[in-house]
Chains A and B, each alone.
Chain A
Amino acid sequence: MMSAPQSQSTDAGGWQRGGAQAVRRRLVERFVSLLCNMATVVVLFVLFSILWTLITRGAGGLSLPTFLHSTAAPGSGGGLANAIIGSCEQTGLAALIGTPIGMMAGIYLSEFGQDGRIVSLVRFVSDMLLSVPSILVGLFIYLIIVEPAGHFSGMAGTLALAVLFIPIVVRTTEDMLRLVPRAMREAAYALGAPGWRVILNVCLRSARGGIMTGILLALARISGETAPLLFTSLGNLNWSTNLNAPMASLPVTIYQYAGSAYDDWVQMAWTGALLITVAVLATNILARWWLTRNGSAQQ
């Protein structure tokens, strides 16, 4: 009680003066800065550790046969060709199915506000779909498509990926359409354009940079998904582009190979991991670069 007034009087000068409290504050500040720097270094270190591991262990398998041969029994020199083509086919088709549905739903959310409560319900549910654990989407597609059909198929995998793809596109489309200036719509309406032409030819056109970025990011996201493909397209050791049959994909092949006891399979798993990470990160960087370029072009 006695020391309280005294310390107040000495610290009235605050930060610039000496005194125990000022020193303490300075020390705390230093300490927190140090911790923050360390946190950043640790997070960056993790990223570089992952990339370094992938490069050092995966680069050994980067050869022409890897891209030309299908997966094969251990020791017989297989490649990843069927997995790569399977991944491309399923991801690409999922994007083809998901893009129009997602964009239309995004348009619905941003332009059909007059529907009232149901719009906010759709928005809420779309957000939920965005964060549904992807393995549950796999279960869902298994139960409604694989089980009735009686066999695993590339189509089921494609649909599972599309379910994950749609909500991302919905979110970006809505966000980007909201950025379109009101004056632009009003100008188009004043020229006598019907509502749907205003949305398609004016709003979507001016938001297309952002929407393309969103689609690219969504593509990157689903191309690395493993869990929804485990019970839907299953994987296939042979070359197959048939959507009605089990289909290989890079993530599932990595999963199967990484846990195996054969050195050459583990090597292939690392190579596959390197390939898919490079593809995903490159797409991300491209999408971000596109967004900044388009963003600055509009200003």
Chain B
Amino acid sequence: MELPSTITAGDGAAMDKNTRGRFGDLVFGMIARLAGWFILLVMAGIVIVLASGGWRAFSTFGPGFFTSTAWNPISDHFGAATSIFGTLVTTLIALVFAVPFAFGVAFWLVEMAPPALARFIETAVQLLAAVPSIIFGMWGFFIVVPFMAHYIEPMVTHYLGHVPAIGLLFRGAPYGTGLLTGGLILAIMITPFICSVMTDVFVSIPAVLKESAFGLGATRWEVMRQVVLPWSRQAVMGGIMLGTGRALGETMAVTFVIGNSNRMGWSLFAPGNTIASLIALEFPESSAGSLKLSALLALGAILMIISFITLACSRIFLQRGTSS
């Protein structure tokens, strides 16, 4: 009814186009918002579904769920301690190996590599990151596990097994599968991730900072340690946390090599399990509505919380690192 009064302001055709444009904007904006909200919905769905599915296990076992090492489907006793322990230990081992290697490769790529070679090697490292995790699992199971069992583990036991305190970690039968092998495979998988963050950060440092240090006669290592690293510490930490998050939730590669046994002990050679590997193995054997299924979902919720904390840390570090 009010339309005719506005039409007098301009000619009809322009008006028509204008309203159509505005209508298009409205529809387009709605679709974009819906897509954004859809992501919130999916995330909320995952959290709610896991938490409510695991609620029965949480309420049945109470806080004891976190400290119990039991996993007994026959007597319906389930605890999360062993798999949380396995998850944290393998991730820690992965970091111990991955961080120095990632740093070494990044340092080499940024400071030492001939430019022509650097591009090629950088692509190769990124391709390593693209290899599907099941391939790491197969390679680990058929190549790394026998190698660990025959050479590495007996050797490590021979040299380190008698050392007081840490000797405890390196005793036990050399099965080849176990926490150590799981951690090593994870290390290989997350090294390219950490490395590419480090490379990006090291390249982005203002050239003048490095040049002035070089001008004072500092060596490459001194520039790295006293100029580049302090400047980029936050972002490097962010990259490491990013790798940690990936190691925590990795399933297939770990399932192949960890040995899948619900045990907790000092030896790193002993088979163990992680939250993700336990879910992958036990889920197909648990019937709908059983307490076991609920326990597995509860484990999933715990894994979710652990990886959220890691990711939140990584974001805080990365944001601070890039803003400073």
Report which A residues bind B (CB closer than 8 A). 14-16, 25-26, 28-29, 32-33, 35-40, 42-44, 46-47, 49-50, 53-54, 57, 100-105, 107-109, 111-112, 115, 118-119, 121-122, 124-129, 131-137, 139-140, 142-144, 147, 163, 166-167, 170, 193-197, 199-200, 217, 220-221, 223-227, 230-231, 251, 254-255, 258-259, 269-270, 273, 276-277, 280-281, 284-285, 288
Interface residue from A104, A163, A226, A288 paired with B32 (Cβ < 8 Å): A104
Chain B min CB distance to A76 (Å): 23
Chain A min CB distance to B284 (Å): 7
A223: chain B residues at CB < 8 Å are: 132
Contact B134 A226 (CB under 8 A): yes
Chain B min CB distance to A172 (Å): 15
Q: A53-B139, A131-B246, A136-B46 are in contact. List 8 more A-B contacts (CB 8 A).
A: A44-B121, A47-B128, A108-B32, A128-B308, A133-B307, A134-B249, A230-B284, A258-B141
For the complex, is B79 an interface residue (Cβ under 8 Å from A)? no
Whole-angstrom distance between the alpha carbons of A142 and B300 in the complex?
13
B252: chain A residues at CB < 8 Å are: 226-227, 251, 255
A interface footprint on B37-53 (CB within 8 Å = 1, 0 otherwise): 11110110110011001
Contact A132 B101 (CB under 8 A): no
Interface residue from B24, B128, B242, B303 paired with A43 (Cβ < 8 Å): B128
Whole-angstrom distance between the alpha carbons of A215 and B131 in the complex?
17
Within 8 A of A (CB), among B272-322: 276, 279-280, 283-284, 288, 296-297, 300, 303-304, 307-308, 311, 315
Interface residues on B, range: 35 or more
Contact A136 B39 (CB under 8 A): no
In the complex, what residue of chain B is closest to A112 when comparing beta carbons?
A: B32
Given contacts A108-B33, A132-B249, A230-B284, contact A50 B142 (CB under 8 A): no
Closest 10 CB pairs of A and B: A133-B249, A224-B132, A39-B104, A194-B21, A196-B28, A104-B35, A108-B32, A108-B36, A105-B35, A36-B108
In the complex, what residue of chain A is closest to B113 when comparing beta carbons?
A: A40
Whole-angstrom distance between the alpha carbons of A125 and B43 in the complex?
7
For the complex, is B130 an interface residue (Cβ under 8 Å from A)? yes
Contact B315 A35 (CB under 8 A): no
For the complex, is B203 an interface residue (Cβ under 8 Å from A)? no
Whole-angstrom distance between the alpha carbons of A28 and B101 in the complex?
18
Given contacts A37-B112, A143-B49, A255-B252, contact A29 B304 (CB under 8 A): no
Chain B min CB distance to A231 (Å): 6
- 29 example contacts (A-B, Cβ-Cβ < 8 A) are as follows A15-B218, A25-B222, A28-B219, A47-B131, A49-B143, A54-B135, A104-B36, A112-B33, A122-B36, A122-B37, A128-B43, A128-B308, A132-B43, A136-B50, A136-B300, A136-B304, A137-B46, A139-B50, A140-B45, A163-B42, A170-B39, A194-B25, A196-B29, A197-B24, A227-B133, A255-B134, A255-B252, A258-B138, A285-B123
A interface footprint on B260-280 (CB within 8 Å = 1, 0 otherwise): 000000000000000010011
Given contacts A39-B105, A131-B311, A194-B21, contact A107 B32 (CB under 8 A): yes
Whole-angstrom distance between the alpha carbons of A111 and B36 in the complex?
12
Whole-angstrom distance between the alpha carbons of A277 and B283 in the complex?
27
Count A-B pairs with CB separation below 8 Å. Answer: 258
Contact A139 B222 (CB under 8 A): no
In the complex, what residue of chain B is closest to A29 when comparing beta carbons?
A: B219
Most A CB within 10 A of own CB, among B132, B220, B283: B132
Chain B min CB distance to A287 (Å): 10
For the complex, is B69 an interface residue (Cβ under 8 Å from A)? no
Given contacts A105-B32, A140-B45, A199-B28, contact A125 B40 (CB under 8 A): yes
Whole-angstrom distance between the alpha carbons of A112 and B29 in the complex?
8
Interface residue from A39, A254, A285 paired with B108 (Cβ < 8 Å): A39
Chain B min CB distance to A114 (Å): 10
Interface residue from A36, A119, A273 paired with B134 (Cβ < 8 Å): A273
In the complex, what residue of chain A is closest to B187 when comparing beta carbons?
A: A46
For the complex, is B126 an interface residue (Cβ under 8 Å from A)? yes
Most B CB within 10 A of own CB, among A44, A47, A53, A128: A128
Interface residue from B112, B121, B125, B249 paired with A135 (Cβ < 8 Å): B249
For the complex, is B78 an interface residue (Cβ under 8 Å from A)? no
A143: chain B residues at CB < 8 Å are: 49, 53, 297
Most B CB within 10 A of own CB, among A14, A104, A163: A104
Within 8 A of A (CB), among B2-33: 20-22, 24-25, 27-29, 31-33
B135: chain A residues at CB < 8 Å are: 50, 54, 224, 273, 276-277
B104: chain A residues at CB < 8 Å are: 35-36, 38-40
Chain B min CB distance to A36 (Å): 4
Contact A270 B32 (CB under 8 A): no
In the complex, what residue of chain A is closest to B22 when comparing beta carbons?
A: A194
B230: chain A residues at CB < 8 Å are: none
In the complex, what residue of chain A is closest to B101 when comparing beta carbons?
A: A39
Whole-angstrom distance between the alpha carbons of A195 and B24 in the complex?
8
Contact B138 A254 (CB under 8 A): yes
Contact A136 B249 (CB under 8 A): yes
B34: chain A residues at CB < 8 Å are: 104
Contact A147 B36 (CB under 8 A): no
For the complex, is B168 an interface residue (Cβ under 8 Å from A)? no
Contact A33 B220 (CB under 8 A): yes
B37: chain A residues at CB < 8 Å are: 122
A interface footprint on B192-235 (CB within 8 Å = 1, 0 otherwise): 10010000000000000000000011111110000000000000
Whole-angstrom distance between the alpha carbons of A226 and B130 in the complex?
14
Contact B242 A131 (CB under 8 A): yes
Contact B139 A50 (CB under 8 A): yes
A101: chain B residues at CB < 8 Å are: 35, 38
Given contacts A140-B49, A226-B134, contact A105 B38 (CB under 8 A): yes
